[in-house]
Amino acid sequence: MTPELAVTAVALSLAGILSFWILRLYRKLQAMEQYRRDLIVNITHEFLTPLTVIKGYAETLLLDKPDRRQAQSHIEIVQSHADRLMKMVEDLLRLSRLENVNPRERLSLVDLREFCGELYHRFKPRLDARKIAWNFAFKPPLGNIETDPGILEIIFNNLVGNAIKYSEPGGRIEICGEREGLNVRFEVRDRGIGISREDQKRIFERFYRVNKDRARESGGTGLGLSIVKHAVKSLGGEIAVESEPGRGSVFYFTIRA
């Protein structure tokens, strides 16, 4: 091969590689743009629903001048939807902070048995109301871990809260943990209604709800699992789920600790 042909071959090879990476970057940018559009549509929809309700009942109060009992009922509905809007704003702000947090700045030693004891007492009224049993088990030598306790609390508050929400009365929730090299693996198990395979692919997306009606009735914003995903990621870990409709779910995640 002549030097000219060799140079041409190298140039074509480099051009092919460059074209491949440009195409890959273009597709990634397209996906990001689609995600941005979907997010705006979801946020608009989620905010529009309670705002429409608030506006409608406010107009009724101003124009129709209902009696005292009706007015009280309308005000309670307005307050309920205003609270839901506030919770969505708080969750969105929490997500934003988690995306930019550096947990290494707030590390401290966490006693897991004490942590789970506090978690149990926090949820005890809801557990007792639905007669749901509770158990946690950590395999030795797991006892104390070095992590950000505030972020760890966000993760467990959301996962345990969901486990209770979607468990039938008389169910059971288990929290397990064990060390895996430099990581710690946790599991939150329930025997609730479970999640279909199709829904499992999307449950960590913002505003995605498996059961939209039930989630809205219980005050859910559709941001909880997205918050969990970013919280776990900020601690250097990953999260996944295994579930079967009617047989419960297992959310398992790892953190660097």
Domains of the chain: 3-100 (1.10.287.130), 106-256 (3.30.565.10)
Answering whether pTM is above 0.85, one says no
pLDDT tens per residue across span 160-202: 999 999 999 999 999 999 998 889 999 999 999 999 988 988 8
The closest of 166, 96, 168, 103 to 131, measured between CA atoms, is 168
Rg of the chain in Å (alpha carbons): 24
pLDDT tens per residue across span 56-105: 888 888 887 788 888 888 888 888 888 888 887 887 777 777 766 666 66
What is each CA distance from 247 to 158, 170, 184, 190, 191, in whole angstroms? 20, 14, 26, 8, 6
